[in-house]
Amino acid sequence: MTGHERLWAELGLDVPLHNRLLESLGADFQAKVESRKNRPRGMAYFDRVIHAAHGDRVAELVKGRAEGRKIVGTFCIYVPEEICLALDLVPLPLCGGTDFSVPYAENIFPRDICPLVKSTLGLAFSKTCPYAPIKSLAVGETTCDAKKKTWEILSERVPFQVMEVPNKKNARTGALWLAEVREFLARMEEVAERTVSADRLKSAIRLMNRKRAALQEFARLRAAERPPISGLDALVVYQGMLNDEPLRFTENLERLNRELESRIAGKVSPFPAGVRRLMVSGCPAVMGNWKIHSIIESCGGAVVADETCTGSRYFENLVDESAGDVDGMVAALAERYLKVDCSCFTPNDERLRSVESMVDRHGIDGVVQYVLQFCHTYNIEAIRVEKTLKAKGIPQIKIETDYSREDSGQITTRIEAFLEKLGSA
């Protein structure tokens, strides 16, 4: 047994099945991402983040837990990470991006729910998620039906907190959300067995603002006339942002940003001049899921922007740092997180404005609306996104898919036709 295998066995994982999962993910990552040419040198760090997710990162978290640092599992970008960090808790997204685990969820759950939910549950049910046994508590939210009904079942098995994300944005729901964030703080203080101090909360807000600012800068660099990095590599960075230790991630991203600046100056790009510039918009593509970006870039397009939760939705808007006391900082956090423009909101005009502005900033030629199967809110909102894009004269295509490979050929044909329609520069 290797050191990691011993660790997984101690955590109660099904080691042979887990090895098969890692083989499948490793082969997919190698074929779709690592084998690409002309990648920035700084991507070596972010590749390691992906490889470490089930190994070294788990060992690091287990060591931290032994030193008293508890882990809080999350499933959505509405959970204010700053509060966890200020209490020395580790917020860790548990969303699954692999097809491998889906059948294990389908034994228990209906088949016709989104693959992200099924993949997440399947990892836990099949004993192949190393984070499930080490978390002290999980935090869900009321964003979509699949998730919120799932929480009822999970909360019977593990300590659970559900944050009520409202469906409208106004003064009344703003007050409701602030109360939810306050309740979240109180629950996290219980888990951490300490109360938050203003100094610790301020430092956590500054750290996350620095991380989000680095991600905004990264997005800005991707908008260069000759994109210095592929959309697949950018996706790897975005997937890492959800798993890695925040300060280490930020320092490495700041370094990568400097490398991208010099690549832009030297006109170094993984794409030929005149490549068609695409934006992926809609559902998240979490770790393990490189499908849509890989298809687009294999067909000769360049993904230069991601209007998703594994993209701009995570890093848009910083937290106002002016408050000096805990109450003021909690209010500033609630304000920032309520700006996230998930399709669970109605109406969701902020998202349409964001799509318009990203199309302009990134010089987008066409938009791929990425909808995970059975994600009704993004699927229906796609109609308004299409209308918004049409008014700007930007072509779009909607791809509704799951995590399987079965429809890859069909999607490839549709993306090829879409790129042909966009023509050459």
CA–CA distance, 260 with 266 (Å, rounded to integer):
10
CA–CA distance, 3 with 227 (Å, rounded to integer):
40
76 binds ligand SF4 (CB under 6 A): yes
CA–CA distance, 25 with 31 (Å, rounded to integer):
10
Contact pick of 342, 359, 399, 415 for ligand SF4 (by CB under 6 A)? 342
Q: Rank residues 19 and 317 by Cβ distance to ligand SF4 and give the closer one.
A: 317
Cβ proximity of 157 and 43 under 8 Å: no
User: Least distance in Å: CB of 386 to ligand SF4?
Assistant: 18
CA–CA distance, 38 with 8 (Å, rounded to integer):
35
146 binds ligand SF4 (CB under 6 A): yes
User: Least distance in Å: CB of 117 to ligand SF4?
Assistant: 5
CA–CA distance, 13 with 11 (Å, rounded to integer):
6
> What residues from 108 to 127 belong to the interface with ligand SF4 (CB under 6 A)?
114, 116-117
Q: Which amino acid is at 294?
A: S
Tokens of 257: 């940003």
In the shown chain, the binding pattern of residues 371 to 390 toward ligand SF4, with x for contact by CB under 6 A and - for none, equals: -x--x--x------------
User: Least distance in Å: CB of 369 to ligand SF4?
Assistant: 13
Instruction: Indicate the pairing of strand 160-163 with strand 302-307.
Output: unpaired
Going by C-alpha positions, the residue among 68, 335, 327, 333 that lies closest to residue 197 is 327
Q: Rank residues 45 and 378 by Cβ distance to ligand SF4 and give the closer one.
A: 378
Tokens of 120: 């997440």
Q: Which stretch binds ligand SF4 (CB under 6 A): 138-146, 166-174, 200-208, 234-242?
A: 138-146
Q: Rank residues 283 and 367 by Cβ distance to ligand SF4 and give the closer one.
A: 283
Contact pick of 53, 72, 77, 214 for ligand SF4 (by CB under 6 A)? 77
Q: Rank residues 144 and 355 by Cβ distance to ligand SF4 and give the closer one.
A: 144
Question: How distant is the alpha carbon of residue 143 from its chain centre?
Answer: 15
**Which residues of the chain form contacts with ligand SF4 (CB under 6 A)?**
76-78, 114, 116-117, 143-144, 146-147, 283-284, 309, 340, 342, 344, 372, 375, 378
